[in-house]
Amino acid sequence: MEIVFSINNNAEIMVMPTAPEFEIAEAQGNDTFQGLTVNIRMIGNKELRTMSLSSFFPSKRYPWMSPYADVNPQAYIDFFKSIKTQRIPARIVISDNNDREVLNMAVSIDNFTYKYRKNGDVDYTLDTTEYVFVKSGGING
């Protein structure tokens, strides 16, 4: 599995060094209203997907790492901090082991936490929310 983050139409790309654990939540904005004799369920709009990734940025090359990944944890930290500072969306593309695209989604970075280990590796958690590009005349994803 390969996970790639990019910004500004692939002007800058970061290949994640490991396939982190990740979870995608796809909520629906449903509501229940009380009627006189029965409750009524209203199916709402699809909400924005959220995704949380957790793993670590290695400080040395491990045999199981993506060959395209950086071995400088600070490069990843700077990349994600820059996205937040610039207030721009990123794109995440996840491919399976057969190079089939599993997910391709623009996201905002909501929370980025990281912790340095004694060996130089950096544990991280990255929380994102789907970002929908709004253009005049409609919405594009």
More confident of the two residues 22 and 51: 51
C-beta separation of 77 from 123 below 8 A: no
Q: What is the average pLDDT across 95-121?
A: 93
Please report where in the chains the tokens 């924005």 appear, as a residue: 48
Mean predicted confidence (pLDDT) in 71-83: 95
CA gap 21, 41 in Å, rounded? 34
**Number of helical (H) and strand (E) elements in the chain, helices listed first:** 1, 11
* Per-residue pLDDT at 6: 94
Whether residue 32 contacts residue 41, with contact meaning beta carbons closer than 8 Å, is answered with yes
User: Do residues 4 and 92 make contact, with C-beta atoms less than 8 angstroms apart?
Assistant: yes
The pairing of beta strand 2-7 with beta strand 12-15: antiparallel
